[in-house]
Amino acid sequence: MSLVLENGFFLLKGAYYTLLITIVSILFGLIIGVVVALARLKGNAPLRWLARTYVSIIRGTPTLVQIIIVYYGLVDYGITLGPLTAAYVALSINVGAYLSETVRGAILSIPRGQTEAAYATGMTPWQTYRRIVLPQAARVAIAPMGNTFIGMLKETSLVSVITVTELLRSAQLLIAQYYVNMPFYLGIAVMYWVMSTVFAAILEAIEKRLSRAY
């Protein structure tokens, strides 16, 4: 493991990009997820159809294929994205589909009586969603979202195929340099585990805070 320690800074730089890709993808994916969920719940027929089709396509195709389409496929249409940008776009679109189902399920779990009571007090539909529905839905959704977030952290390893120097790609470059496999693979496995554990702890703290608030 001495080689891992000697190249610790290089691997930490890879871990930084892993975390950066994860966080950016989750943030944009969450926005996409909320918009798609509301489209399916409140949109007109064509909008609901588009939302369902998007979710079906993304959930029905491999993440790796989606990454390759965004990075290599779009070039055929004159759209050239850098590796890091392509990673953000592909993973945001991917996680957005899964989060939309989580958000939609959480919204549907809120009793209809609460929205009717809000309307009775004079709240508009937007005020009802913002003040009553979405805060409670967030509490319901946080646990399944946590699993999606941790899954996304691990799926960032797939962007190594488009030369993004995240954690796995960093290990592969070191393996090519030193011709040694196991120390580097074990080293990044531990780093992924540590990052996943920290993520899980943060999400658990958020869940507890939301439970106390509502």
Q: At the topology level of CATH, where does 2-213 sit?
A: MetI-like fold (1.10.3720)
Note the pLDDT of residue 136. Answer: 76
Note the pLDDT of residue 135. Answer: 75
- Quickly tell me which residue has 């776009």 as its tokens: 89
- Between CA 90 and CA 182 the distance in angstroms is 30
Note the pLDDT of residue 212. Answer: 66
Among candidate residues 187, 163, 195, 166, the one with its CA nearest the CA of residue 2: 187
Q: Which amino acid is at 110?
A: I
Considering the entire predicted model, what is its pTM?
A: 0.88
Residue boundaries of the structural domains of the chain: 2-213
Tens digits of residue pLDDT in 127-177: 777 777 777 777 777 778 888 888 899 999 999 999 898 999 999 999 999
Tens digits of residue pLDDT in 5-49: 888 899 999 999 999 999 999 999 999 999 999 899 888 899 999
Q: Check residues 213 and 151 and name the one with the higher pLDDT.
A: 151
Note the pLDDT of residue 211. Answer: 66
